[in-house]
Amino acid sequence: MTGNAIFGFMEAPGRIAGGTIVLDGRRIDDLPYEEMRKIRGREIGAIFQDPLTSLNPLTRLNVN
């Protein structure tokens, strides 16, 4: 849930109940969609850790 909140991926009924999310001294939890889109991938990133959807068990690791 925290990761989803940081990236702005919270879906109803989820919400940020309190506090703020700050990146390099700038509040980002209330940014418009397009502003947050500029930050994703450049300033923050995610490595999703569901191996069932991330890795093909029939492929060698150096190819995955």
Question: What would the pLDDT profile of 23-61 be if each residue is shown by its tens digit?
Answer: 899 998 888 889 988 888 888 887 777 766 666 777 776
CA dist., res. 8 & res. 56, Å (int): 28
Q: Domain containing 14: what range?
A: 2-54
- Of the CA atoms within 13 Å of residue 62, those in its CB half-sphere come to 0
Average pLDDT of the segment spanning 15-29: 84
Distance (Å, rounded) from C-alpha 8 to C-alpha 53?
22
How far is the C-alpha of 4 from the C-alpha of 1, rounded, in Å?
Answer: 5
Residue 64 lies in a domain: no
Question: Would you say residue 21 lies in a domain?
Answer: yes
Cis peptide before 32 (omega within 30 of 0): no
* Residue 59 counted as domain residue: no
Total domains present in the chain: 1
Domain assignment of residue 61, yes or no = no
Query: Based on the number of CB atoms within 10 Å of its own CB, is 13 exposed (0-12), middle (13-18) or buried (19 or more)?
Result: exposed
